Structure 1
Amino acid sequence: MTASDSRQYDVVIVGGGHNALVSAAYLARAGRRVAVIERADAVGGAAVSERPWRGVDARLSRYSYLVSLLPQQIIDDLGLQITLKRRRYSSYTPDPADPSRGILVDTHDAEATAASFTRTLGTDGAAEAERFSAFGERLAPLGRAVFPTMTEPLPTADEVRERLCDDELWEALTSRPLGDLLRRSLQSDLVRGIALTDGLIGTFSTSDDPSLAQNRCFLYHVIGGGTGDWDVPVGGMGAVTAELERAARSSGVEIFTGVEVVSISPDGEVHTMTDRSEVFRGDLVLSGVGRAVLDGLLAAGGSATIGGDEPEGAQVKVNMLLSRLPRLRDESVTPEEAFSGTFHVNETMTQLDAAYAAASGGLVPDPLPVEIYCHSLTDPSILGEELQASGAQTLTMFGLQVPHRLLDDTDPVAAGARLLAAAQASLDSVLAEPLRDCIHRAPDGRLCIEARTTTDLERALNMAGGDIFHGALSWPWLEAPASTPAERWGVATPHPRVLMCGSSAQRGGAVSGIGGQNAAMAALEMLGG
């Protein structure tokens, strides 16, 4: 390679996702010279908004879509102008055995919620509503105990256990499969499924998985913001990235887009290639790419790799624009109520476990467990004025238990069509009319619907295996105190000058900025400021 130029920085960040931008902004505000290198033509990674259909004025959060784990501390520290809206309805779950009835969880009306339990479950409905409420109250201390630690050096497990003040819950969550806790807390298969889905988003697992992968995913879903609420970013996910980019650039960060990193060395050299080769040198290198991708870059530089399990995503995301919301078979609930929260379809605990078994055997689950929500009901600003006036709505559908292995060695277009058909069929089972009849058409006549599979994520975003978490989630604590800044902040690699700053960090995953903030704090300690 003939390097035509080289650049020197305090910190070079590989990858331009939201975590990388958080790290960059913190470091630049502390007076450090920072470069961010992104292979795509724009920053943001999975946290972007796009117009998928030509001639249609709809800006969809194409990949990531809700916000729960982004701490207010990061918003305040970086001066971000971000508006997050709380959804009134937490969820709607029709009974797969009789979709003319379903449970609507209304956070503003406990009596209405209890009435929907009774309408759906019959004589035990009122008691199950009380159990469901009690289960939520019992979990609430997890958010208060764990979430404030996410922007601090990693606590030990013993310290978190002491903060929780509930040894029984601690043991249930950290030592036994989640299914045990759900069976002891809830009686209805339908209601157990509502809870279990929080352990399966992007995670291929089952209620009784001895690895506790579902437990770790569940924990991250119920601690967000200290309350577990999932909020809608006004303007779409791209508005979040735009603010992060503004904060980084205004602090002096140099951002290079359309630049491919080809190797990283442990001594801080980042080699790139566009129309010419170039070397970025940093006292530290922060990796915003996944662990598996970093391994490839280290290997290309002739260095020892990090290793670890092969990442594997387990979801399909369907984006669509509807001319109007479809009618439900349950006439006691309006479409606006059902779709504004998380709409669970074919997600009883039994169905979720059966779907895992089917996918483990190489089959697309039938029915496919899906959950849906409508961003535009909470935030109509993502639609142009004409679409808003016409009654059009976006719809996001997320299919579970579809691991990347189902798409390996297959035609990606055919695989996407197969998963899209499975997702539509699942939703159609609880609708009073076919979903297809409600899908908006673009000016060229195409239906405004697309599926983003794990293969799409791997190819478009360089996410190995289409894993939205860049690998298995970790508990957000240590078993014993750490000795180095990188270990204390959960961003260490075997190479002292290379840190994780993205979703592969110990407290990574989802749109949170936590991995980025943690890496910046460790880097400042290491750089002496």
Structure 2
Amino acid sequence: MTEHYDIIVIGGGHNGLVAAATLAQAGKRVLVVERRDTLGGAAATEEIFPGYRVDTGATDAALFQDEIIRKLDLTRHGLAFRENPALLFAPQPDGRALTIWRDEARTVADIARFSERDAARWPAFRRQVERMTGLLRGMLLLAPPDLAGLRGGDVMGWAPLALRLRRLGGDDMMELFRLLPMAAQAYLDEWFESDALKGALGGSAVVGATLGPRSAGTNLTFFYQNLGGLLNHRFVVGGIGQLSAALAGAARAAGATIRTGAGVAQILIGDGLDAAAVGVRLDSGEEIRATTVLSNADPRHTLFDLVGPQQLEPEVMRHVRNIMFRGSTARLNLVLSGLPGFAGLADNAQLGGRIRLAPSLDAIERAYDAAKYGRFSEKPYLEMYLPTLHEPAAGGHILTVNAQFAPYKLREGDWTTQGQVFADTVLDTLATVAPGIREQIVHCQIVTPLDLERVYGLAEGSIHHGQMGLEQMLVMRPIPGWSRYETPVRNLYLCGAGAHPGGGVTGAPGYNAARAVLSRVRPTF
């Protein structure tokens, strides 16, 4: 046995670091153990090509909560953001391009080239989305109520949000309830006629999901992905890994210890009828004791692999086994000799935000159709970023390409043999709006759903630790009855994206889990 800590946090992803810093700031003796040599998990920046540091997971921190930035004083630890005047650039196969700008008048003028009617409706649409997402944003830092126990404190925590909902007025409140379970296509069809505009917007509805825009509930995903503002982005200066570095700095400054290269083989469970987590055993065999353990790993890996099903009731085992992951995102990291020549490009500033190749909602739906039958898409939906437009590196440009749909389970073959085939498919698709891009490639890395699982611990390649549909959100996340960060194992908590509110770089699961731990001692926290 080695030292004893108050808290052990398994996993040095951004949520684990948020939890560690929050607990250490409250005076707890905290240890973070991370399997990889790099902190950040899916929010890391790594040198995968000589001279080029690449965001190997998430690329944008628009959803990261300002309250966490303030409470942990992350700007003092080096966190800074950059924004671009263009929010989204959507090149079209016909040679045109649609650009959504921060400036509303400029956006309206650009949309008018595709549809005068849609241009006139854009301001009202933006106001509705931001009104609805403003309400939903208030849910991120609230633990879901315990519907079974109906404890007064659980419900009272939601009182301010309920009051805000009531102040929306009856019409807006009913509109919110109508919109959340809708298919994104139905919602966007109510507002717009332009395929280019609806395709550009609709990409937000399928991020990390094996669902198409016609699937029920994808409008909730659309709103969730826009919680930081409609199509808004907030890039971290130096790469998303600098957010994780700032969090690690805040945790260490508060007294936390962080160990990398320290994978966890097992969560130790004490003896007795009411067995509790009492520490961890590392891959090296070292055992470390703690009063409480937080896991930033996904719920299934935490409870089945690290704890063991023998510690769980049959009903809990059934629910955990039924968690849907269904990852279908692959990534190409490219180093190019110059900026790609995208169709319709008039100003390089257009390339400084998101770049989406989604000419219509039908195109996204057809890409999803392939995944339903265990095939990757022949014309995938692509979301891209050019970070070196703002931060030049080694004379070339980095282009990161997130491609959907690439299902984790292929009907024919597997990702060890199909990875390069899919990479070629992505490049062929990209070439339809960026001719000559193959000739610009200096380096290329394909990251398949299998790689996401093996390297980053994302089960089935699910970037959100479980699909974010209505059936796996709020009180249903991660499983019914256990939505408040506690698990069926006493003194073991979940602090990762598999817990409420879900995936994305929000910091909310880690922050909420830390407060849940502290509330056991300080109910008024």
Deviation by residue 1:144-195 (Cα, 9 ceiling, x = unmatched): 2222442244438966643554134313322332222111111122222122
Give the TM-score normalised by structure 2: 0.86
| CA apart distance, 1:350 | 0.5
Runs of at least 5 residues in structure 1 that lack an aligned partner in the other structure: 440-446
Selected match of 1:183 from 181, 186, 189: 189
- Say whether residues 1:279 and 2:281 are aligned partners: no
Does residue 443 of structure 2 align to residue 437 of structure 1? no
Is contact 1:92–1:343 with CA below 8 Å preserved after alignment?
yes
Identity %: 27
Tell me the equivalent position of 2:173: 167
Distance (Å, rounded) in 1 between the aligned partners of 2:189 and 2:102: 24
Distance in structure 1 (CA, Å) of the matches to 2:120 and 2:22: 45
Task: Report the alpha carbon displacement of residue 326 of structure 1 after superposing the two structures with TM.
Answer: 2.0
The equivalences for 1:108-507 within 5 A come to 108=103, 110-111=105-106, 113-119=107-113, 121=114, 125-154=115-144, 155=158, 161-162=165-166, 164-165=168-169, 166-210=172-216, 212=217, 214-224=218-228, 229-264=232-267, 265=269, 267-275=276-284, 277-300=285-308, 302-304=310-312, 305=317, 307=320, 308-330=322-344, 333-334=346-347, 336-380=348-392, 383=393, 387=394, 390=395, 392-406=396-410, 410-412=414-416, 414-431=417-434, 433-439=435-441, 447-473=442-468, 490-507=484-501
Residue aligning to 1:77: 71
Taking structure 1 as reference, are residues 299 and 249 closer, same or farther at Cα in structure 2, changes over 3 Å only? Answer: closer
Q: Superposition RMSD on alpha carbons, in Å?
A: 2.4
**Superposed, which structure 2 residues align to 1:27-106 within 5 Å?**
27-53=23-49, 56-81=50-75, 82-96=79-93, 98=94, 100-106=95-101
Question: Partners of 1:274 and 1:32 in 2: how far apart?
Answer: 25
The number of residues matched between the two structures is 486
Aligned mates of 1:411, 1:153 — CA distance in 2: 38
**Matches of 2:358 and 2:226, distance apart in 1:** 21
Instruction: Describe the superposition over 1:352-379 as per-residue Cα deviations: whole angstroms up to 9, x where unpaired.
Output: 1111112212332221111212112234
Structure 1 pair 78–329 and aligned structure 2 pair: CA distance change class (3 A): closer
Counterpart of 2:140 in 1: which secondary structure?
helix
1:501 aligned partner, one-letter code: C
Match of 2:151 in 1: none
Gaps of 5+ in 2: 145-157, 270-274
Whole-Å Cα distance in 2 between the matches of residues 222 and 411 of structure 1? 31
CA apart distance, 1:227: 5.8
1:26-62: CA deviation from partner (whole Å, max 9, x where unpaired): 1111111111121112321111111111xx3221111
Match of 2:153 in 1: none
Deviation per residue, 1:84-117 (Å, 9 max, x gap)? 1112111122333x1x212112223624x33433
| SS at 1:367 equivalent | coil
Aligned with 1:421: secondary structure?
A: helix
Deviation, structure 1 residue 460: 0.3
